[in-house]
Amino acid sequence: MFSLYIHIPFCVRKCLYCDFLSDAYSTELRAAYAEALNAEIKREAGFYRNRRVDTIFFGGGTPTLLTEEQLEELMETVWKNFDVAEDAEISMEMNPGTADWKKLVRMRQLGINRLSIGLQAAEDELLQKLGRIHTWKQFEEAYGMARAVGFRNINVDIMSALPGQKLADYEHTLQAVLSFEPEHISAYSLILEEGTPFYEQRESLALPEEEEERQMYDLTEKLLRAEGYHRYEISNYAKDGYECRHNLAYWRRTDYAGFGLGASSFISGVRFQNTRSMEQYLMGKRSKEQVEPLSREDAMEEFMFLGMRCMAGVSAEDFRQQFGTEMESVYGKVLTELEKQGLTAREGDRFFLTKRGIDVSNYVFAQFLL
Amino acid sequence: MDQSKIRNFCIVAHIDHGKSTLADRIIEKTGLLTDREMQDQVLDNMELERERGITIKAQTVRVIYKAKDGEEYVFNLIDTPGHVDFNYEVSRSLAACDGAILVVDAAQGIEAQTLANVYLALDHDLDVFPVINKIDLPSAQPDFVKNEIEDVIGIEAQDAPLISAKNGIGIEEVLEQIVAKIPAPTGDPEAPLQALIFDSVYDPYKGVIIFCRIKEGRVRKGTRIRMMATGAEEEVVEVGYFGAGQFIPCDELSAGMVGYMTASIKNVKDTTVGDTVTDADRPCAEPLPGYKKVQSMVYCGLYPADGAKYPDLRDALEKLQLNDASLNYEPETSIALGFGFRCGFLGLLHLEIIQERLEREYNLDLVTTAPGVIYKVHKTNGEVIELTNPSNLPDPSEIDYMEEPVVSAEIMVTTEFIGSIMELCQERRGRYLGMDYIEGTRALLKYELPLNEIIYDFFDALKSRSRGYASFDYDMKGYERSELVKLDILINKEEVDALSFIVHKDSAYERGRKMCEKLKEEIPRHLFEIPIQAAVGGKVIARETVKAMRKDVLAKCYGGDITRKKKLLEKQKEGKKRMRQVGNVEIPQKAFMSVLKLDDK
């Protein structure tokens, strides 16, 4: 299993809650970036000569802000330099209003077979509050076009715990999204990240109370399950067979190579990160920096807290195979304690989060740090 | 050395009135060596000292001033600590001087501390002359301040130099007045040695370096000296005086001179400030007056944040004590905090200085328990215990009565704030003694206050309730009988010994309530509900609850940036490290200290 992540750090306008590495851009910068990105992929692909690529993910920012020509060149670079499996999952993020019919057709032709549409909420008032660039109507149009041009695997991102959002609003969003029957839904709750405008305004945001936030969380699970979606990860729901394979790669700690500004890679037990400075990146020197080799302990910690994000949990057998030691001998005490607190459960050789465990998963994960 | 050409003096001032700036200017405008010493190439010695990198405490310095009369004078400027915690040290430094410069801010006028310091100086028969500083400020009113000095302190001020130490204005005049107004020392160089220790530092190469003023007689290399109070005896290895930043060795120190001596003494405790050094072979009849053993006034528990660092903390305290004889400590254990030390300090400032030095110089993370004073517990069986740790309070049935230390305090305040300051003193169980008006706009309030009411945040409260204008000084008065109780804090039904403290029974409820409120803010939410209770004698008097955590999810996936995710978890874990486990509750270390500041006005 091998994955590629390709980062496009551009957006029309930064949303007020967003702390991803992305910003508004000029056409010159966009062109220079596309060129540097192609160059990086060509330069580095040699390292991964013998790896067959199973998933590719274009994230951002808003990757669909690249022009058709830029997208085409980028995909060509990927195809030419990598051995991409025939059934590879190739996802691209998009925002409503950033791709027209023509561009969507082109994307299909270039081999992109999964779309991830950032909606966040169905109420225009909320969208505006978040600093989103689109309306609900624009989402409807984008979604309709995507289906029409033949996308058979679509994800919709939604958010709960938004400023001023009521439980009823959130239910409305869920219902509205469900009426489109996407294959996959990612449901996040808003997190105020330092350095964002929302963080600065945090005192005056009128965020829902913790209890209401939790009810939104519960509601997601309940409504989506009734509609045939199963929760396979803390924030991700899919119809059978439509789990995002790329995301699972992160949780299962299989190798992935990241390209583009600030992109992360994980290769043979070492984590890398590309430079976060656009200036540096465009100069095209060595892009992988911040190399972080993981110790055995680091790897065990990750195995646990990433694996536990998936509802299937972690397997003691996998642990033994990867580390040559028993999970019980490293985490026996922690797991027993968590089980006693009703936060995790076990079935056969698997350990996984309970419903209460999901609610306080951060607390649970912190227990796995050695 | 011609005694008539020596001037030993100090500078007294209120904080921020410009004491150190004036000292700097004096050093700048004078030379370090006499012409004769220059020719003797003492410079070489200085070079040597510099290479060894020994520095002396700031501001105790010998400088040479060529006066307008054409003569060269030796000035010994002796530093005095500027805080009420160190009153005893101040008094010993003053005893080493023959005169003092009083610096008064031209805009602010006299403050409580100014008064206290001047009285201390006059007590030591020092000749005091005033200097009016900051005359370049737009709000300066030198004539008004001159009158104030004359009226309030009763010293001549009409010809006080008007200066700006910051801008170097009027410094010459100060130097001339030092020559004219500060008397030359007296003392017979042929008499038996009698030298006053006013400070000492520990140097890893030389051992203890004694800072002294020679009152009578002389001392040189080879003299066998005896500390009269501690009885320690050693042979002098080196004598010298203070350059700016160096020790400059010389042949001998004689009556009237200020300088240092070393004698391979390994323990600062042998050379306590205020003690008299004499010649062991030819001792003087009497020690110099005024020596007292320094008493710790404030006690608290110091614990390493990381229990494994206990030996490091012990080593650090040992080293600090080499330089600071007034610090004392003994091991203790706390159920909540593990192994640590109960430490005694001169006052809260001293505590803070030591704490900061431990953290900065020795790289230790500390947990400090609430500071307390020494209570006298009279037991029914006639025994009297000096209680420094609340946990050791005997069972109430064994206690006849208790006493607490009381201070006499003087608070200087502008008249508009008299009301709010009196209210504050009242709240702190103060006993009003009287009030003097000064110059119509200011008053000197006199109170007796229990020491345990002022060691926490009295100073902060005073400043905030007078918009920074009140100043404050105090003296130990003695012990008084008082209705005291032990206030216990229970977290999740378990008593946390490190949070217990002694309080007057009338304040117990108020303090208990505030403690609970504060702890509620500090203790993070757990998976279960946590009651926080304050109790006296087993009876709960206040309660708060930390609600259970309902939701804590890190939903986002940062495009495969696992490192970032892990950092967030690590932050949580790191936070956990700074927690103390009490029962099944984790209490942040800062909670133990934040409860010290409870005044919310």
Q: What is the pLDDT of residues B388-439, one digit of tens each?
A: 889 889 988 899 999 999 999 988 888 889 999 999 999 899 999 999 887 7
Q: Decide if pLDDT at B524 tops 60.
A: yes
- A8 contact B CB<8A: no
Work out whether strand B247-250 and strand B298-304 pair parallel, antiparallel, or are unpaired.
unpaired
Place of tokens 């160089």: B189
Q: What is the pLDDT of residues A355-366, one digit of tens each?
A: 999 989 988 998
Q: What is the pLDDT of residue B58?
A: 42
Of B559, B563, B569, the CB nearest to A366: B569
Q: What is the pLDDT of residue B509?
A: 92
Q: Decide if pLDDT at B538 tops 90.
A: no
Average pLDDT over residues B317-342: 85
Q: What is the pLDDT of residue B83?
A: 57
The reply to whether residue A359 touches residue B554, judged by beta carbons under 8 angstroms, is no
- A93 contact B CB<8A: no
| Domain A2-250, architecture per CATH | Alpha-Beta Barrel (3.20)
Q: Are B77 and B280 in contact (CB under 8 A)?
A: no
Query: A316-323 and A327-340 helices cross at what angle (nearest 10)?
Result: 150
The reply to whether residue A250 touches residue B557, judged by beta carbons under 8 angstroms, is yes
pLDDT confidence bin for B82, thresholds 50/70/90: low
- How far A210 CA lies from chain B's nearest CA (Å)? 7
The reply to whether residue B553 touches residue A302, judged by beta carbons under 8 angstroms, is no
CA–CA separation, B356 and B352 (whole Å) = 6
Q: What percent of chain B has pLDDT over 70?
A: 90
- How far A188 CA lies from chain B's nearest CA (Å)? 5
Task: Write out the two tokens for B161.
Answer: 């130099």
pLDDT confidence bin for B337, thresholds 50/70/90: confident
Beta-bridge partner residues of B503: B485
Q: What is the pLDDT of residue B52?
A: 38
Q: Give me chain B's average pLDDT, please.
A: 84
Is the model more confident about A157 or about B41?
A157
CA B175 to chain centre: 29
Of B550, B557, B568, the CB nearest to A210: B550
Q: What is the pLDDT of residues B473-505, one digit of tens each?
A: 788 889 999 999 999 999 999 999 888 889 999
The reply to whether residue A366 touches residue B559, judged by beta carbons under 8 angstroms, is no
Residues in chain A: 370
Q: Decide if pLDDT at B335 tops 80.
A: yes
Chain B residue set in contact with A, beta carbons under 8 Å: 527, 549-563, 565-566, 568-570, 572-573, 576
Which range (B287-296, B391-400, B428-437, B517-526) has the least confidence? Answer: B287-296
Backbone torsions φ then ψ of B216, nearest 5 degrees: -140, 155
Task: Write out the two tokens for A83.
Answer: 């051995």
Work out whether strand A114-120 and strand A154-160 pair parallel, antiparallel, or are unpaired.
parallel
- A68 contact B CB<8A: no
Which range (A302-316, B18-32, B96-110, B337-351) has the least confidence? Answer: B18-32
The reply to whether residue B557 touches residue A360, judged by beta carbons under 8 angstroms, is no
Helix (H, G, I), strand (E, B) or coil at B462: helix
Which range (A169-173, B15-19, B97-101, B204-208) has the least confidence? Answer: B15-19
Q: Are B578 and B589 in contact (CB under 8 A)?
A: yes
Q: What is the pLDDT of residue B558?
A: 57
- For residue A366, the chain B residues in CB contact (below 8 A) are 569, 572-573, 576
Q: Decide if pLDDT at B343 tops 60.
A: yes
pLDDT confidence bin for B33, thresholds 50/70/90: low
CA–CA separation, B522 and B528 (whole Å) = 16
Q: What is the pLDDT of residue B116?
A: 74
SS3 of A183-230: the string is CEEEEEECCCCCCCHHHHCHHHCCCCCHHHHHHHHHHHHHHHHHCCCE
Place of tokens 């091998």: A2
Q: Decide if pLDDT at B350 tops 90.
A: no
pLDDT confidence bin for B49, thresholds 50/70/90: very low
Q: What is the pLDDT of residue A263?
A: 92
Helix (H, G, I), strand (E, B) or coil at A91: strand
Q: What is the pLDDT of residues B565-576, one digit of tens each?
A: 888 888 877 777
| Domain A295-370, architecture per CATH | Orthogonal Bundle (1.10)
Q: What is the pLDDT of residue B516?
A: 93
- Cβ contacts of B258 within 8 Å, gap of 6 or more: B8, B60, B62, B76, B78, B96, B211, B212, B213, B214, B241, B242
pLDDT confidence bin for B598, thresholds 50/70/90: low
The reply to whether residue B570 touches residue A5, judged by beta carbons under 8 angstroms, is no
> Comparing C-alpha atoms, which of A338, A302, A308, A292 is closest to residue A322?
A302
Place of tokens 């080879």: B222
The reply to whether residue B563 touches residue A305, judged by beta carbons under 8 angstroms, is no
Q: What is the pLDDT of residues A314-351, one digit of tens each?
A: 999 999 999 999 999 999 999 999 999 999 999 999 99
Q: Give me chain A's average pLDDT, please.
A: 93
The reply to whether residue A360 touches residue B527, judged by beta carbons under 8 angstroms, is yes
- For residue A256, the chain B residues in CB contact (below 8 A) are 560
For chain A, give every domain's residue range. Answer: 2-250, 295-370
Which range (A323-327, B371-375, B504-508, B595-599) has the least confidence? Answer: B595-599
Q: Decide if pLDDT at B46 tops 50.
A: no
Place of tokens 């950033």: A98
Average pLDDT over residues B516-522: 90
Of B550, B562, B569, the CB nearest to A250: B562
Residues in chain B: 601
Q: What is the pLDDT of residue B468?
A: 72
